[in-house]
A = this chain, B = another copy of it.
Amino acid sequence: MTTPQAGARDGRGGPVIALDAMGGDHGPREAVRGAVRAVREHGLRVVLVGRRAEVARLLAEEEAVGAMPVLHAEDALAMHEGALASWRRPRSSVAVACKLIRQGEASALVSAGSTGGVVATSTVRLRTQQGIMRPALAVALPTRPRPTILLDAGANADAKPEMLVQFAHLGAAYARSAFGVEEPRVAMLTIGSEPGKGNRLARKTAELLTAAAAQAPHATRLDFRGNVEGHDLLAGEVDVVVTDGFTGNVALKSVEGAVRFTLQAVGEAMTSTTIAKAGSLLQRRALRELRDRLDSDTYGGAVLLGLNGSVVMAHGASRAPAIERACLLAHDLTSGGISEEVRSRVQAAARTARRPRLGAAEDHAR
């Protein structure tokens, strides 16, 4: 069994990442290139999973034969395939990578395959950590000074309040493992920032989160800061924003669409007159850097939290640099001890749930 070691990027003893070589719109070439960069430039330990002959040929093209092991998988999930169809395929590269994790030979999966297929396959094959009801999809928004984690970004369209409380713990564990945030600030996404605002799910969830935050302080307590609204998502004032998978997915895609729309409108405005055009030549570089920063790939992709093994999903359109970043994120989560962090949080929450606790009304009055 590979033991994850904190901070190790030296190629010896760090966590092993099983990389799905077959996923993504650009095929195995970009995956292999990304893997080579992850290994050569960051000393990560990567196993490529996919059609051996094809992957070996691409490794040879990169002059990287022998740089990392290749595990054969004869099948691959199609990008257009539904979630159900995907998890029924036991010989897909994603399924074989999951098997490697179950056997203790790897700690994390990285894939640029279809989100639905990877979520379904890894949920069924890795299973949730003990005590976790559902895995949640987490994304790191490009806020400053550090990213805000939004979850659930789409794994569970219909959720229960108790699940959202667990998502808060999963998000806090992510912030701590990957970004080193000691006491992550958690908020709930709703409409209206005052307590009691929102739909039934949000109102009940806020009650439970308030109660969880009122527990005696210990390493795993929640620092619940209350409600945030859609326009707070990019304000960078909290570390974790919790919501159900339907709302989270709509919010995430609304943000992505609006950023893209605005950058495009800026581009058009800047070339709309001769004077503006002259100005834009001077600024091309500054704007390209901004575009890169706001690019959702920059933060390494979405993470499926709560399973027995870290699962990082790079965007389907990922090129080698995005694959490389996804591998780095998988490495940081695993060597940052996210599994242990989730385990101790869930256990602590279960213990306090067994103790008689204060009623929600009393909690509010504090």
The residues of A with any CB-CB pair to B shorter than 8 Å are 116, 154, 157-158, 189-192, 197-200, 202, 229-235, 243-247, 249-263, 265-266, 269-270, 272-273, 275-276, 278-283, 285-287, 289-290, 293-294
Contacts and interface: CB of A to CB of B under 8 A. Distances in A.
Given A199-B158, A283-B280, A231 B257 contact: yes
A154 B198 CA distance: 9
B269 A276 contact: no
A304 to B, nearest CB: 16
Given A250-B229, A251-B251, A279-B280, A157 B266 contact: no
A346 to B, nearest CB: 25
A190 B158 CA distance: 12
23 contacts: A157-B191, A189-B250, A191-B246, A191-B253, A230-B253, A230-B256, A230-B257, A231-B253, A232-B257, A233-B254, A234-B257, A246-B247, A250-B254, A258-B262, A259-B261, A265-B293, A269-B283, A269-B286, A269-B290, A275-B282, A278-B279, A279-B279, A279-B283
Given A231-B257, A258-B258, 12 more contacts: A189-B250, A191-B245, A230-B252, A230-B254, A231-B256, A233-B258, A254-B254, A254-B258, A262-B294, A265-B290, A270-B283, A280-B283
Copies of this chain: 2
Contacts of A286: 269-270, 272-273, 276
Chain B CB count within 10 A is highest, among A198, A244, A253, A287, for A253
A30 to B, nearest CB: 23
Contacts of A198: 157, 246
A282 B290 contact: no
Nearest to A256: B231
A232 B260 CA distance: 11
Contacts of A263: 262, 266
Nearest to A249: B191
A79 B270 CA distance: 38
Contacts of A278: 279, 282
Contacts of A276: 282-283, 285-286
A228 to B, nearest CB: 10
Contacts of A289: 269
Nearest to A271: B286
Given A199-B158, A279-B281, A290-B269, A234 B250 contact: no
A254 B255 CA distance: 6
With most chain B CB atoms within 10 A of its CB, the pick from A202, A246, A289 is A246
A84 to B, nearest CB: 11
A263 to B, nearest CB: 6
A252 B254 CA distance: 8
Contacts of A229: 249-250, 253
A125 B270 CA distance: 48
Contacts of A246: 190-191, 198-199, 202, 247
A258 to B, nearest CB: 4
A164 to B, nearest CB: 14
A249 B231 CA distance: 10
Nearest to A263: B262
A252 to B, nearest CB: 7
